[in-house]
Amino acid sequence: QLSDKLEGVFSGLRQRGVLTEPMIREGLREIRRVLLEADVNFQVTRDFMKRVEEKALGERVLKAVSPGQQLVKIVHEELTSMLGERRSPLALAPIPPTVIMMVGLQGSGKTTTAGKIARKMKREMRQTRMVACDVYRPAAVEQLQTLGEQVGVPVYAEPGSQDVVGIARRALELAQSERDRVVIFDTAGRLQIDEQLMDELKRLKEVLKPAEILFVADGMIGQESVNVAKGFDDALDITGVVLTKMDGDARGGAALSIYGVTGKPIKFLGVGEKLDGLEEFHPERMAGRILQQGDVLSLVEKAQRSFDQEEAAKLERKVMGAGRFDLDDFLMALRQFQNLGPLENLLKMLPGVNSKMLKNVKVDPQRMKHIEAIITSMTKQERKRPEMLTGSRRVRISRGCGRPVSEINRLLEQFKEMQKFMKQMKGLQGMMPRGGGMP
Ligand code: GDP
Ligand code: MG
């Protein structure tokens, strides 16, 4: 989850009293990685990073009383503006009826969303009608009719007819004579964008002069939905976006990219198959949600999944049992922690662990290779009994692995911290489920 990952980055930064430029840069690199991993569009990520960097490296942050907080604030602001700055409500036509056209690929959730919006309009006391313009599949008309019955909104359809533009024109006339306030047109989709579909939608647009052309996208398909949004926007000049299926494990990248790529705001999120599964989209709240406190349990579970069970069990025996925690164990632990992303993120979540003791345990993934080189340049004896690593032995190891002695010293510092940490973990034994591997 995007929010968990960003939270990890920030819990690290937030707690530091002083932020140096390298720390900020490191944090920003991490944010960039998290965004790209969440499938945020590359270009959008680059623009975002540029803006955050400019602000974050400004004097205001470096000299602020709590620079970590300041940085979080900047990222929150920029995320908000990346999501469209402020809430963009449904546009209502000055002279009714307000015409809303639902467009999008097949299966994206157009029909369902039409029903959800109809329900919302009706609850806001607006006389509403839906129109079935997805005429090629009889089931689509029936689906809309069923939804209409559920929300108590009439549905205009001409079963059997494939004259989409004629249907639209007649429906609009009816709506005008019946003094409807809102008319929602459900349209056909395709598996991909194709010319024929776009032509049909363009003709519909001409006849309907809609106040809103809502592009409906499946939030689960990430980056791809951004390209599709661009295609629909180029052809139809859409007025807004609805991201559906945000109740599932959508990675969030689509939400963060669509506004940046099309300049069109997200207006609603679909958060369920049922008719009440519609949320207004608030950029600021969404940004807040992304930055929110990560869920401790899910992090711990993630940790347990990533750890190699057997190795972890060995490590556990070491930690819990009589065995000493030596440099071999250290290397094994580091390798396992690598699977978790930054070690710090996880460890911070464990009660009883403070950030000071973690300072030296943190491992830069790029350094992993060096660490392996150093440890494998030691003799078996040395790895078992690190306290025998005198100055001259360290020099020898340094020659063996090609890393400076200072780095070896640093590694041994880290080892000591880890040793301490392992002792601490013993005390945490009780809180972990049995058989979960790592304590
Ligand atoms: P259309 O082809 O674009 O009209 O898509 P439909 O409205 O028929 O929806 C396709 C499928 O997605 C259906 O099974 C819907 O129940 C489901 N669906 C639509 N919106 C949501 C949503 O917000 N969350 C979830 N979980 N499912 C949705
Ligand atoms: Mg449909």
DSSP state of 220: G
Cα distance between residue 84 and residue 87, in whole Å:
8
Cα distance between residue 79 and residue 341, in whole Å:
22
Residue 6 confidence class, pLDDT cut points 50, 70, 90 = low
Q: What angle do CA 315, 316, 317 make, to 5 degrees?
A: 90
**Distance between Cα 111 and ligand 1 center (Å):** 7
Residues 73-128 pLDDT 10s: 777 788 888 888 888 999 999 999 999 999 999 999 999 999 999 999 999 999 99
Ligand 1: nearest atom to the Cα of 271: 23
Residue owning the nearest CA to atom 15 of ligand 1: 273
Contact 43, 227 (CB under 8 A): no
Which regions of 15-127 does DSSP assign to beta strands (E)?
98-103
**Distance between Cα 130 and ligand 1 center (Å):** 17
Q: What is the pLDDT of residue 300?
A: 32
Residue 237 has pLDDT above 90, yes or no: yes
Mean pLDDT is lowest, of 40-49, 136-145, 291-300, 419-428, for 291-300
Higher pLDDT, 266 or 220: 266
**Distance between Cα 35 and ligand 1 center (Å):** 26
Residue 341 confidence class, pLDDT cut points 50, 70, 90 = very low
Residue 343 confidence class, pLDDT cut points 50, 70, 90 = very low
For ligand 1, pick from 102, 105, 112, 232 the residue to mutate: most ligand atoms within 8 Å of CB: 112
- Enumerate the known binding-site residues for GTP: 104-111, 186-190, 244-247
Question: Residues lining ligand 1, CB < 6 A?
Answer: 104, 106-112, 189, 216, 244-245, 247-248, 270-273, 277
Q: What is the mean pLDDT of residues 138-152?
A: 94
Q: What is the pLDDT of residue 35?
A: 78
Mean pLDDT is lowest, of 10-24, 286-300, 382-396, for 286-300
ipTM at complex level: 0.99
Candidates 77, 58, 56, 60; CA nearest to 13 is 56
Q: What is the pLDDT of residue 249?
A: 62
Ligand nearest to the CA of residue 216, numbered in listed order = 1
In angstroms, the first-to-last Cα distance of the chain is: 23
**Domains contained in the chain, CATH given:** 2-82 (1.20.120.140), 98-281 (3.40.50.300), 296-431 (1.10.260.30)
Ligand nearest to the CA of residue 228, numbered in listed order = 1
Q: What is the mean pLDDT of residues 185-205?
A: 92
**Distance between Cα 94 and ligand 2 center (Å):** 28
- Alpha helix stretches (DSSP H) within 342-404: 343-349, 355-358, 368-376, 380-384, 391-401
**Distance between Cα 188 and ligand 2 center (Å):** 6
Q: What is the pLDDT of residue 181?
A: 97
Higher pLDDT, 288 or 126: 126
Residue 52 has pLDDT above 80, yes or no: yes
Residue owning the nearest CA to atom 14 of ligand 1: 273
Cα distance between residue 379 and residue 377, in whole Å:
7
Contacts of 366 (CB under 8 A, 6+ apart): none
**Distance between Cα 396 and ligand 1 center (Å):** 65
Ligand 1: nearest atom to the Cα of 112: 7
Is the link from the previous residue into 283 a cis peptide, with omega within 30 of 0? no
Residues 370-382 pLDDT 10s: 888 899 889 888 9
Radius of gyration of the chain (CA): 28
Residue 198 confidence class, pLDDT cut points 50, 70, 90 = very high
Cα distance between residue 52 and residue 34, in whole Å:
15
Ligand nearest to the CA of residue 109, numbered in listed order = 1
Which of 50-59, 78-87, 320-329 has the largest mean confidence? 78-87
Ligand 1: nearest atom to the Cα of 216: 3
Residues in the chain: 439
Structure tokens at 328: 């071999």
**Distance between Cα 426 and ligand 1 center (Å):** 48
For ligand 1, pick from 244, 246, 275, 279 the residue to mutate: most ligand atoms within 8 Å of CB: 244
Higher pLDDT, 413 or 151: 151
Q: What is the mean pLDDT of residues 350-358?
A: 47
For ligand 1, pick from 193, 221, 273 the residue to mutate: most ligand atoms within 8 Å of CB: 273
- Enumerate the known binding-site residues: 104-111, 186-190, 244-247
Candidates 371, 373, 368, 385; CA nearest to 419 is 385
Report the DSSP pairing between strands 278-280 and 266-270. antiparallel
